[in-house]
Homo-oligomer: A and B are copies of this chain.
Amino acid sequence: MHIKSQFYEDYELGVTRQTLGRTITETDFVLHAGQTGDFFPHHMDAEWCKTQPFKQRIAHGTLIFSVSIGQTASEINPEAFSKGYDRLRFVKPVFIGDTISTKVTIAEKAEDKKPGYGKVVEHVEVYNQQEEIVMVCDHILLAKRKQGEQGNSDF
């Protein structure tokens, strides 16, 4: 975790970064149920799950989202802030013992109505140990423009 300034102009389309892996454990399921209050049997009742199509407990969607976004939290960019996420999709279930890693690609850059800022879209893909995509989403950042710094953002 460290601080590194990156302006709108510094983001390059197509550039990717890839996190290390992390095994999703039964502990993560139990802690996430405890944090969210979601004790649905899909996540917490191994006996009931045996009667369901997936035959075993599946991770909360919010767990996989939280852990994967957490995996990408390595660089603090004081010139940008997170606006939110689009098109979050849970593509495949994650089971206890699966290992996930996250890949981020600079997918889009665009004008934004906020003066002095530009919009950057990071496309996020979460992979399991079989290299299958289990989750995707688009992270929307607003990043300061360099000319914004120079006080001439209104030319």
Interface, chain A (partner B; CB < 8 A): 1-3, 19-23, 25-28, 30-41, 44-48, 57, 60-63, 65-67, 69-71, 73-74, 76, 82-90, 97, 99, 129, 137
A73: nearest chain-B partner, CB-CB: B38
Taking CB atoms, residues of chain B closer than 8 Å to A47 are 21, 23, 99, 129
Contact of A31 among B35, B40, B63 (CB under 8 A): B35
Contact of A30 among B2, B27, B82, B99 (CB under 8 A): B27
Question: Is A21 within 8 A of B35, CB to CB?
Answer: no
Enumerate 20 A-B pairs (CB-CB under 8 Å) in ascending A order: A1-B40, A20-B45, A20-B48, A21-B48, A22-B37, A23-B47, A25-B30, A27-B30, A31-B35, A32-B35, A32-B66, A33-B34, A35-B35, A35-B67, A38-B70, A45-B99, A46-B97, A62-B65, A63-B66, A84-B88
Question: Is B39 within 8 A of A22, CB to CB?
Answer: yes
A126 to chain B, nearest CB (A): 12
A20 to chain B, nearest CB (A): 5
